[in-house]
Homo-oligomer: A and B are copies of this chain.
Amino acid sequence: MRIRGAPAIGLAAAYGILLAVENELRSAAHDPPDHYFDHDEEIARPGGVEIGAPVVRKKFMQAKKVIANTRPTAINLFWSMERMEEALDRGSPDPLEACARLAREAFIIHDEELETEFAIGRNGSGYLRDGMRVLTHCNAGGLATAGYGTALGVIASAHEEGKRLRVYVDETRPLLQGARLTAWELGRRGIDTTLLCDGAAASLIAARRIDAVIVGADRIAANGDSANKIGTLGLAVLCDAFDTPFYIAAPLSTFDPAVESGSMIPIEERDGSEVSSFAGVRTAPRGVAVYNPAFDVTPARLITAIITERGAVERPDAERLRPLRGPSG
């Protein structure tokens, strides 16, 4: 949980696999070179020891298994590991060359994701007009992604276009990503920011004091049902009840065409201590049972539009989302 946000988790998975393979080569050689994957330098065989290709592949699969079990909900994790595996198998089985391909692939993924976020920002900013009051939940900003943000990227993009926005930020219990991260990112960008408890959003939405809600996503099913940080579903239901647009901003890597609908998305349940204590202070009686899912699923029918790098899909469903996924989808 040190790394959070679906796109950032995807990047961490790529870099994590790279580091695991790299460390294996170093320790196998008993003489770790510093830059053996740097292609500007001559590649040295570590200590002259030959390491077989099966060692690299074995370590790759071990790391993949460990990483896959860290955060079951974020699909980007699996997507970026698939790309890494393709890079592994793409060329020479030579361990050092394979490792270099993994490094290159991780950097390419990072770079592409950043471009993706700029595109999401451009595609979504039209939904935010000058003077709007926008509410967001959790953190879908630079700290959760490759650096620009998805939902916060859309807000940043509208802000860069000169639109004056007031952004309300749910503190987002239990881990307070909204208070700790989103409020900080928005403040740093000079955007008018107001923090509130998650439970206070209803009073604003019901009083028509919110013009749009925009959040990120951790996994989107083929029919548009979207998993995102716990508390998102409640916002979507409120938006539906009070005719307020509800947007999801997420890269295509968040889509999971293998999952038909939201009910099939696995939801990570986290330790109860996140709820029953704070900063080392107990906030609940000892031994109380805790229900602490990290995510909930918002059904597609409650989503006004899903904003991706290839454009936005309004009133999303399986039919409307299919063309987005392109030839591979």
Contact = CB atoms under 8 A, between A and B. Distances in A.
Interface of A: 137, 168, 170-174, 176, 179-180, 183-184, 187, 192-204, 206, 230-234, 237-238, 240-241, 267, 272, 275-276, 278-279, 281, 283-285, 287-293, 296-297
A293 B200 CA distance: 7
Contact of A284 (B183, B201, B202, B290): B183
5 contacts: A176-B284, A187-B285, A195-B272, A200-B231, A201-B234
Contact of A240 (B168, B171, B241, B292): B241
Nearest to A170: B199
Contact of A234 (B193, B238, B279): B238
Nearest to A297: B203
Contacts of A173: 171, 173, 197-199
Oligomer: number of copies: 2
B179 A231 contact: no
Q: Which of A201, A231, A234, A291 has the most CB atoms of chain B within a 10 A radius of its CB?
A: A234
A194 B230 CA distance: 17
B174 A293 contact: no
Nearest to A138: B199
Nearest to A185: B285
Contacts of A200: 230-231, 291-293, 296
Contacts of A275: 171, 179, 195-197
Given A231-B199, A275-B196, A283-B179, A291 B168 contact: yes
A192 B287 CA distance: 12
The 7 closest A-B pairs by CB, nearest first: A199-B231, A202-B234, A203-B296, A179-B284, A173-B197, A202-B233, A279-B281
